[in-house]
Amino acid sequence: MIYDLIIIGGGPAGSAAAVYAARKCLNTLFITTEFGGQSVVSEKIHNWIGTTEIAGAKLADDLKNHVLANAGEKLIIKEGQKVVSIIKEGENFKIKTDANEEFETKTILITTGSKRRKLEAKGADKLEHKGLTYCATCDGPMFSGADVAVIGGGNAAFESAAQLLAYCNSVTLINRSESFRADEITVEKVSLNPKFKIVKNVDILEVLGEKFVEGIKIKNLATNTEEDLKVTGIFAEIGQIPNTDFVKDLVSLDKIGKIKIDPWTGKTETPGVWAAGDCTNILYHQNNIAVGDAVRALEDIYLTIHTK
Ligand SMILES: Cc1cc2nc3c(=O)[nH]c(=O)nc-3n(C[C@H](O)[C@H](O)[C@H](O)COP(=O)(O)OP(=O)(O)OC[C@H]3O[C@@H](n4cnc5c(N)ncnc54)[C@H](O)[C@@H]3O)c2cc1C
């Protein structure tokens, strides 16, 4: 069996493409390690269009249910498998998963998103999961009553701070630069909390502690002075790394590993392969953008299959 299309990744982008592919009767295989994608850990999402507020877990359920409602002869779902390699063979592609299954397809849509960037500082590796964590939703409640730090300046950092402020004694947000990438309204809202403090323009030198986090050593870049902040929890929200290692020999990547695409179509530089969402070098990464970009790519895939 040679599929028309294999979609890899079950976040917002892949799920949207799967629904469209089924409705266009493309013979599609959909492979994902899990449904929902990155914002599954968010307690509340306020900008998923059509809903005023939705939990990340509910969004994941909704995406899964929407895909499953379209599953059938034309849309086969493989949940719980990770694609580990893709090889071009003639006109087609052979895709292999970590369950040792192999599939053949004419076209591919890669929507594998990204994962969290790890903090690079002395002591960070040693104290990971011992006070240093990458998920406020998952681990935050363990730090009830504690003084904690959040590292980062984007929406994810401010969202994490907002969650932690509900039960921590204090939350200090540490940002490497002077300005924030987070939406102004989010910065303003979180900053109103008297338990919240911001430290800007600093380098993070060391995560302090023997068995568990006891503090964080920072250097003020304006004054060149060092300071130890006493915290027992550190939540790093310092950006994302694209999940593209498995396609590095198949498609062109930019210097941080994002798949280079043509923004008009979602085409990669490899004929027969499209990509959409957070794994690509498109500007701005959001749920709604990932969905729209995947739908555009799907339309282009459909047209390519039926006109080439
Ligand atoms: C904490 C947090 C909060 C956020 N809050 C918001 C928000 O409020 N609003 C908003 O619009 N955006 C938010 N975002 C951003 C948003 O989550 C992303 O832009 C969006 O998830 C991107 O969707 P995607 O489908 O491209 O990728 P992802 O969501 O990353 O999904 C990728 C999928 O691919 C699967 N996968 C990865 N590799 C493989 C492989 N090799 N084989 C098979 N499957 C694979 C993964 O399991 C995952 O299901 C937030 C992000 C984070 C981290």
Residue by residue, DSSP assigns the chain as: -EEEEEEEEESHHHHHHHHHHHHTT--EEEEEEEES-GGGG-S-BS-STT-S-B-HHHHHHHHHHHHHHT-SSSEEEEET--EEEEEEETTEEEEEETTS-EEEEEEEEE---EEEPPP-SBTTTTTBTTTEES-HHHHGGGGTT-EEEEE--SHHHHHHHHHHHTT-SEEEEE-SSSS--S-HHHHHHHHTSTTEEEE-SEEEEEEE-SSS--EEEEEETTTTEEEEE--SEEEE---EEES-GGGTTTS-B-TTSPBP--TTT-B-SSTTEEE-GGGBS-S---HHHHHHHHHHHHHHHHHHHHH-
Give yes or no for residue 35 having a pLDDT over 90. yes
Distance in angstroms (rounded) separating the CA atoms of residues 250 and 87: 7
Residue 141 CA to ligand 1 center (angstroms) comes to 23
Q: Is 246 in the pocket of ligand 1 (CB under 6 A)?
A: yes
Confidence of residue 97 (pLDDT cuts 50, 70, 90): very high
Residue 137 CA: nearest ligand 1 atom is: 1
From the CA of 7, how far away is ligand 1's center (Å)? 15
How many whole angstroms from 221 Cα to the centroid of ligand 1? 33
> Of ligand 1's atoms, which has the minimum distance to the CA of residue 240?
53
Q: Which atom of ligand 1 is nearest to the CA of 45?
A: 8
Among 115, 137, 283, 287, say which to mutate for ligand 1: greatest number of ligand atoms within 8 Å of CB: 287
Instruction: Give the residues across from 107 on adjacent strands.
Output: 5
With CA atoms as reference, report the closest residue to 11 among 28, 33, 35: 35
* Average pLDDT along the chain: 95
pLDDT in tens, 194-212: 999 999 999 999 999 999 9
Cα 264 → chain centroid: 22
108, 6 contact by CB (below 8 A): yes
Test site for ligand 1: of 45, 82, 97, 112, most ligand atoms within 8 A of the Cβ? 112
Share of the chain above pLDDT 90, in %: 90
Task: Enumerate residues 6+ apart whose C-beta is below 8 A from 198.
Answer: 172, 173, 175, 191
Give the residue-averaged pLDDT of 44-54: 91
Region class of 113: left (phi > 0), else alpha (psi between -120 and 50), else beta = left
Is the shortest distance between the CB of 287 and ligand 1 below 6 Å? yes
Residue 139: predicted pLDDT = 84
Q: Write the pLDDT tens digit of every residue in 247-300.
A: 999 999 999 999 999 999 999 999 999 999 999 999 888 899 999 999 999 999
Indicate whether residue 34 lines ligand 1 (CB < 6 A).
yes
